[in-house]
């Protein structure tokens, strides 16, 4: 035998030398839940290892992030009051706006990303303005723009619309520019599926729809070409980055989007994907560190330039301490 692939697998150093995929903490984004109030530091039962913070305790996790080497945070808000039009999402003193001001002031070098959506702020839990049981796409655009502009004004470097309304990137871009914020970045959840794997998040954020589901706006899991269409539309409308979500179950879509995208492609390893690994590890079925690392490298291998994950801090620490071995 002349060709022996095993020659390159003999030692960790050789395997590391020839590894086709690299992962760095620079690529990682950490999602954080902020609840209105003071002194909040509460465990999230559906997401073991994750906590909810209030704006005043938010710097504690930012401190841990920067110590671990994670420099981007994605913010989700839990307002005290909800209404039909999600006022808490865009009011000047909304929970995310408060957190952004505090966070940006104390950690100016970190990158702050605001999740732009209405479901955590509406009494009905849908991602837009309702008429009867239908989310009105075009009317919702006006509200999404308000949310994005107010988050950017409060200090968000990046706004990330996760609503799946048509035309959302164009509307938000126009709104940011009109408000004199032409350099604020749009990271669009362009290819977002109607997934069962958001279950733990909806518990964490209190954002489950009061009736029905999101299938009239989020994508059908059976489709990949439609995902390319969504990505192309958002890129044409000015998205600076696009996202495929969920990540682990949609590696084929991630690869396909990466192949056509002229902009960086991110992915979100969602709450259900995280919780599944946690549960299997807690049962002793799998090794948590190896499973989380393998999952992250799989996302990178499929083409992710940016990875949003609840495991960001763990991964960054393992990478820093040389604890990830294949
Ligand atoms: C808001 C939003 C959701 C997630 C991110 N942004 C929930 C949803 O669409 O129902 C899910 C994130 C996760 O599951 O980790 N629309």
In sequence order, what DSSP letters do the residues of 35-93 get, joined into one string? ESSSS-EEE-TTSTT-EEE-TTTHHHHHHHHHHHT--EEEEEEE-S--BTT-GGGTSTT
DSSP-assigned states of every residue in 244-270: EESSGGGHHHHHHHHHH-SS-EEEEE-
Q: 119: Cβ below 6 Å to ligand 1?
A: yes
Distance between CA atoms of residues 296 and 314, nearest Å: 11
Closest Cα to atom 6, ligand 1: which residue? 162
CA dihedral 118, 120, 121, 124 (to 10 degrees): 90
Mean of all residue pLDDT scores within the chain: 97
Helices (H), the chain: 12-18, 58-68, 95-106, 137-154, 168-178, 199-205, 225-236, 251-260, 271-282, 288-301, 312-320
CA dihedral 97, 185, 24, 32 (to 10 degrees): 20
Beta bridge partners of 77: 34
Rounded distance from Cα 76 to ligand 1 centre (Å): 9
What is the arithmetic mean of pLDDT over 70-82?
97
Distance between CA atoms of residues 214 and 164, nearest Å: 10
Nearest atom in ligand 1 to the alpha carbon of residue 208 is 10
Rounded distance from Cα 120 to ligand 1 centre (Å): 9
Half-sphere exposure of 127 (CA within 13 A, CB side): 21
Residues with active-site annotation: 192, 245
Closest Cα to atom 8, ligand 1: which residue? 198
Nearest atom in ligand 1 to the alpha carbon of residue 120 is 1
Rounded distance from Cα 156 to ligand 1 centre (Å): 19
Q: In the chain, what percentage of residues exceed pLDDT 90?
A: 100
What is the arithmetic mean of pLDDT over 185-209?
96
Q: 267: Cβ below 6 Å to ligand 1?
A: no
Rounded distance from Cα 322 to ligand 1 centre (Å): 32
pLDDT at site 42: 97
Q: What is the pLDDT of residues 108-147, one digit of tens each?
A: 999 999 999 999 999 999 999 999 999 999 999 999 999 9
Mutate which of 78, 201, 214 to test ligand 1's pocket (most atoms within 8 Å of Cβ)? 201
Query: Any idea what the Cα angle at residue 110 is, between residues 260 and 46, rounded to 5°?
Result: 75
pLDDT at site 95: 98
The model's pTM is 0.98
From residue 242, how far is each of 64, 128, 163 by CA, in Å?
27, 21, 13
CA dihedral 140, 145, 150, 155 (to 10 degrees): 130
Nearest atom in ligand 1 to the alpha carbon of residue 310 is 15
CATH of region 21-320, choose from 3.20.20.70, 3.60.9.10, 3.40.50.300, 1.20.140.10: 3.20.20.70
Q: 118: Cβ below 6 Å to ligand 1?
A: no
Instruction: Pull the structure tokens for residue 115.
Output: 């999740």
Q: What is the pLDDT of residues 162-190, one digit of tens each?
A: 999 999 999 999 999 999 999 999 999 99
């Amino acid at each position: 035998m002349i060709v022996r692939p095993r020659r390159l697998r003999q030692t960790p150093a050789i395997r590391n030398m020839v590894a086709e995929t690299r992962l760095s903490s620079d690529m990682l984004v950490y999602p954080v839940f902020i609840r209105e109030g003071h002194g909040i530091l509460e465990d999230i039962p559906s997401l073991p290892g994750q906590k909810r913070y209030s704006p005043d305790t938010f710097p504690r996790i930012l401190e841990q992030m920067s110590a671990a080497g994670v420099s981007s945070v994605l913010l989700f808000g839990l307002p005290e009051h909800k209404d039909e039009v999600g006022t808490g999402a865009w009011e000047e003193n909304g929970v995310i706006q408060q957190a952004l001001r505090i966070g940006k002031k104390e950690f100016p070098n970190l990158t702050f990303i605001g999740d732009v959506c209405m479901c955590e702020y509406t009494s009905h839990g849908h991602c837009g303005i309702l008429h009867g049981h239908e989310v009105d796409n075009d009317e919702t655009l006006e509200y999404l723009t308000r949310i994005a502009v107010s988050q950017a004004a409060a200090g968000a470097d990046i706004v990330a619309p996760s609503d799946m309304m048509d035309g959302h990137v164009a509307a938000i871009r126009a709104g940011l520019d009109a408000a004199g914020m032409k350099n604020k970045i749009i990271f669009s959840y362009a290819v977002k599926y109607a997934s069962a794997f958001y279950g733990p998040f909806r518990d964490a954020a209190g954002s489950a729809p009061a009736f029905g589901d999101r299938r009239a706006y989020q994508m059908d899991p059976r489709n990949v070409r439609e995902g390319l269409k969504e990505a192309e539309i958002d890129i044409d409308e000015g998205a600076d980055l696009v996202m495929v979500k969920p990540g682990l179950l949609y590696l084929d879509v991630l690869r396909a989007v990466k192949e056509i995208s002229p902009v960086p492609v991110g992915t979100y390893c969602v709450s259900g994907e995280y919780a599944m690994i946690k549960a299997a590890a807690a049962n002793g079925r799998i090794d948590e560190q190896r499973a989380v690392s393998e999952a992250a490298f799989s996302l990178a291998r499929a083409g992710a330039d940016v990875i949003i994950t609840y495991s960001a801090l763990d991964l960054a620490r393992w990478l820093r301490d040389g604890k990830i071995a294949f």
